[in-house]
Structure 1
Amino acid sequence: MNDMMLVLNAGSSSVKFALYEAHTEPTQDCLICEGGIGSLGHRPHHKVVDRHGATVHDAYLADGAGHEEAIRTLMGWIAQRFPERRLAAAGHRVVHGGDLFDAPVRVDAGVIERLRGFIPLAPLHQPHSIAAIESLARLDPRLPQIVCFDTAFHHGLPPLATWFALPRDLIAQGIRRYGFHGVSYEYIASALPGVAGAAVAEGRVVVAHLGGGASMCAMRARKSVATTMGFTALDGLMMGSRTGVLDPGVVLYLLEQKGMTPAEISDLLYRKSGLLGVSGISDDMRTLLASDDPHAEEAVALFVYRIGRELGSLAAALGGLDALVFTAGIGERSAEIRKRVCAQAAWLGVTLDAAANAHAAGAARISIADSKVSVWVIPTDEDLMIARHVWRLVEGDRAA
């Protein structure tokens, strides 16, 4: 009854975590605490809050501490804070599972080796996830670890939606569209019936996951039928520092005419483009919306324009649209971006309720009652989705 589950999400400069009760299938009420250690490599800040948002720990690690030290510190803090409790299992969000993994799996040496093969397809994320798994295994070799894949939710995509117009032998080698943010989309799909009702949930829905990384997913009956990201998490929408969709000829031009190396182009496309590159100011939407610099406004306008273009494409893939859902950091918190997106989606039948949009908190409808397409804000909860998978797999192993 005293067991806990740990959810880890390792990024390039942070390790985020959440602890859940493990005696039952997790709900939001089972959250014990959450937090993270940010600014790794600089002055790492370790902060933890309880499920009501009250701070329970706030401290700094030694300057320059990295991922290994962060995970060691986190595990030590958990043991010191909860001396009478034990960790039953840990779960990780892993961005790329390719065509090998269509569901969460328990980690073993073979799984880790296969995950390494996807590092070139997710260079911003995959190495840090693998490092976190290995660090945790060194600290507690007997702790079961489960990996949940952002690509798994899209494994049921129709074949045509996964193909590039490339020779078939390349497609057979795995060069195809995979889609990402699947853990978030899976959570939204699970929450839709309770928030919007069965009719909406089983209909034609586009979910806009708008954050530092951004994508959109077309769902029919809560299953993915099309999505904006493809072979890598670089495709689709304009993002904080990533380009989104780009004419491949630009890459050839940069290689052949500008003399850039593949590493330089990768850095440009992943870390120096998007909102940051267009504005020349920041990759943070809040900063850009508050700025009076015309370049900031152009970056925001391009971000919204690209969402509108992709929304039309996804609606076409669905054969119409019944509902639009906003989620993730920008989608949940920026009434201004939601307003702009909905204004340019009026042709689809979207009519925003200005007051509902301005005051939306938590899960809420933000379109008028007779809007042809209903519009919703639903906060995502990737940690909870991962915790559910961890619990099911661990309980399944026990039952077997």
Structure 2
Amino acid sequence: MSHLLVLNAGSSSLKFAVFDRALAEICRGAISAMGSAPRFQLETADDQSEKHAFSGASLSMDDALAYVLKRLADRFPNLRIAAIGHRIVHGGVEFTKPAVLTSQTLAKLRELEPLAPLHQPYNLAIVAEAQKHFPDAVQIGCFDTAFHANRPKLQKLYGLPRALIDEGMISYGFHGLSFQFISGQLRKRFGCEAGGKVIVLHLGSGSSLCAMQNGHSLATTMGFSPLDGPVMATRCGTIDPGILLHLMLRKGMQPQAVEDLLYRKSGLAGLSGTSGDMQSLLADTSDDAQETLDYFVLSVSRQIGALAASMGGVDHLVFTAGIGENSAPVRARLANAAGWLGLELNEAANDSGAVDIADKNSRIGCLVLKTNEELAMAEGMATLLEQ
């Protein structure tokens, strides 16, 4: 039997998963903190695990991939990799479904690197290395922007000259693989209507929200780039463009320095002055940390209000991703802020990690659903390979 390998390369991590052709998961894992204290973790479908800390201070992406592939070969000698799926953050206007990564396709995707500098270069760099290890495997790109491609045109526009809109300066939206998976889970739970009018909160180091109607993306908070929306770990979120003009025209900052500021030195880390990690901030009793948490709740709540308006109401809120799935205190604060929508939280259910955390008297539903971007990618790969 042949298998599907899924790779998700970031600036400091490499996540992976292996599936058989029936889409049963064989294993998953990651190498994290590659730039400081690299750690390897592997979990198998039969609940076995493996962990390893590297002795060096850093690990290159090529070396990380080589290590992952060696561990997979040692642990699963009968693996036959037929296709490798790559999470690619930005697919632009053209790539709205999984695609075989030819040299022409990769050239087009490299042109989008400035729009997602924290992700796109790393997503693409690993493709060539994967081809070296598996020259006969099909390399497939799975795009985070694809789920949002069929939103109403009005939802994609900015108040810019039409010529710039026609050049592709529109809202694309991101985290589409996560939202796609959650949409499928909602269909399994509620049928074809997928819960009706739903706002899904993908909250992690990068955060975005998606308004779904009957399981389809109607509006989302990230736009032309992954900077927009609520404040994130190191990204600023929604900001007055006048600030950027001021930084460049009045303070003399170069464009590259502004880019570095907005993507890597802002957000929760910049505002708190200490950390962009949510758990660290929750444990920090300083005034700056508490104000940063308050601003996070406010920034997410503003987006909930905007998305509710775009749909004319809300039937369910869904929490997912690292913070959404694992931080009961953050869920509680956001649910309390969404009380105007008629949401009442079942605190005991929220604290216990239940799926349904709405109180029985709540006028709207509230769920915590685990996302699985790797399975969403494998499903897209399987569909493409069957064509």
TM-score normalised by structure 2 residue count: 0.97
1:64 Cα offset (Å): 3.4
Pair 1:366 & 2:357 matched: yes
Pair 1:352 & 2:345 matched: yes
Q: Secondary structure at the match of 1:253?
A: helix
Q: Which residue of 2 aligns with 1:248?
A: 241
Structure 1: gaps of 5 or more residues: none
Pair 1:80 & 2:74 matched: yes
Among 355, 367, 392, which residue is 2:383 paired with? 392
Contact 1:15–1:38 (Cα < 8 Å) also in 2: yes
For residues 346 and 58 of structure 2, the distance between their equivalents in structure 1, rounded to whole angstroms, comes to: 48
1:318 Cα offset (Å): 0.2
Q: Which residue of 2 aligns with 1:259?
A: 252
Aligned residue type for 1:185: F
Pair 1:7 & 2:1 matched: no
Contact 1:207–1:218 (Cα < 8 Å) also in 2: yes
Aligned residue type for 2:3: M
Pair 1:93 & 2:87 matched: yes
Among 192, 210, 224, which residue is 1:231 paired with? 224
Contact 1:48–1:58 (Cα < 8 Å) also in 2: no
Aligned residue type for 1:304: V
Root-mean-square deviation (CA, aligned residues, Å) is 1.4
1:314 Cα offset (Å): 0.3
For residues 35 and 321 of structure 2, the distance between their equivalents in structure 1, rounded to whole angstroms, comes to: 26
Aligned ranges 1:20-169 → 2 under 5 Å: 20-22=19-21, 24=22, 26=23, 30-51=24-45, 53-60=47-54, 62-169=56-163
1:52 Cα offset (Å): 5.1
Q: Which runs of 4+ in 1 moved over 3 A?
A: 61-64
Structure 2: gaps of 5 or more residues: none
Contact 2:84–2:140 (Cα < 8 Å) also in 1: yes
Contact 1:365–1:377 (Cα < 8 Å) also in 2: yes
Contact 2:205–2:233 (Cα < 8 Å) also in 1: yes
Q: Secondary structure at the match of 2:158?
A: coil
Pair 1:176 & 2:170 matched: yes
1:199 Cα offset (Å): 7.7
Q: Secondary structure at the match of 2:209?
A: strand
- Of the structure 1 ranges 383-392 and 204-213, higher mean CA displacement relative to structure 2 is found in 383-392
1:323-352 Cα deviation digits (max 9, x unpaired) = 100000000111111111111111111111
Among 277, 280, 292, which residue is 2:285 paired with? 292
Q: Secondary structure at the match of 2:262?
A: helix
Contact 1:288–1:296 (Cα < 8 Å) also in 2: yes
Among 314, 317, 321, which residue is 2:310 paired with? 317
Identity of aligned residues (%): 44
Aligned length: 387
For residues 230 and 47 of structure 2, the distance between their equivalents in structure 1, rounded to whole angstroms, comes to: 32
- Of the structure 1 ranges 168-177 and 197-206, higher mean CA displacement relative to structure 2 is found in 197-206
Q: Secondary structure at the match of 1:345?
A: helix
